Amino acid sequence: MTHNFAHLQAGIRGLEVCPSQILFPCPVLDYGLCWMRSPCVWEESFPSQRAAAQNAEEIFLPIYQQAEEWVRCYTDADNLDSWFDTFHRSLNRHLGELRDALTPMRTQQTVPVLNRITALLLPDKVLAELEADPSFLYMAHTLSHPSHYLRHAEYSTYDSSEGETGIIWLLGKLLIRHGYDLLPAIIALEADLQQKAKNYQRICAGRAENAIHKHIIVPLNLLLPMLYQTLSTQGT
C-alpha cells in the first residue's frame, strides 16, 4: 500500500504541471516559391519600385492570412488543434490515471475517503473557470499589421546602363528593372507568430495550473492524510 500511495502522489505532481508540459507548436507557413522576383529576369521583374512593392504586398497578404488563421485555430477552444482542447485531453488523461491509481488501495476501510477523492478527480470546475475567462480564449497580442512585416522586405534594382555611355546609357536608364525578396518579411512574420504563440501558451498554462491547484490539488491535499492514516491503521 505504501508503494501505491507513493504512486498516487507522483500522479498528483504530474497533474499539477501538466499544463506546462504541453508541447509548444511550431507554426510553419506555406509560401511556395513566389517570395522572390529577380530584377535581372525580365519576365518576373517590374518597371518601377512602386510596382514591385505593390506586387510584393499582394504576394505577402495570403501568407499573412495563413498566420491569422493559425492564430484563430490555436486560440479557438472548439478547435481540435487549439491549446485549450489539447489541455482538455491532457487533463482527462492525468485524471484517469489518478482514478486508476486509487483502485489498488480500495478496501472496506478506505472506501469513504477514496469516494471523496474520486469526486474531486473531475475536469468540470477547472474547464469552467478557464472558459469563463475571455482573455484565456484569445491571444493577448494579435499579429501586427502586414506593413510591419513588409518593412523587412528587400528591394533590388537592375540598371543595365552602368558602365555605358551615350545612347546605350540612355536606353539602359529607360529599361531599369526592379525586384524584391520577401523572405526576410516572412521570417519576421513567423518569428513574431511563434513568440506570440509561446506567450499565449505560457499565460494559458499559468492560469490552468492555478485552476487545477484551486479546484483539485488543495481539496485533495486535505484528504490525503486521511487516506494515509487509514492505510497505516490497516497495517499495510
The one-digit pLDDT tens for each residue of the chain (236 residues) are 678 889 999 999 999 999 999 987 788 888 888 889 998 888 888 998 999 999 999 999 999 999 999 998 888 888 888 899 999 999 999 999 999 999 999 999 999 999 999 999 999 999 999 988 766 655 555 889 999 999 999 999 986 555 545 454 445 555 688 999 999 999 999 999 999 888 889 989 999 999 999 999 999 999 999 999 988 887 54
- Hey, what amino acid is at 111? V
- Hey, what amino acid is at 75? T
* Sheet arrangement for strand 36-37: 36-37, 177-181, 154-158
Sequence ranges of the domains in the chain? 2-233
Look at residue 169 in the predicted model and tell me its pLDDT.
Answer: 45
Alpha carbons 92 and 178: distance in angstroms, whole number? 57
**Alpha carbon of 186 to those of 152, 175, 180: distances in Å?**
8, 29, 13
What is the dihedral sign for C-alpha 135, 136, 140, 142? negative
Look at residue 79 in the predicted model and tell me its pLDDT.
Answer: 86
Cross-strand bridge partners of residue 143: none
This prediction's pTM: 0.82
CA atoms within 13 A on the CB side of 4: 15
Q: What angle do CA 9, 84, 76 make, to 5 degrees?
A: 175
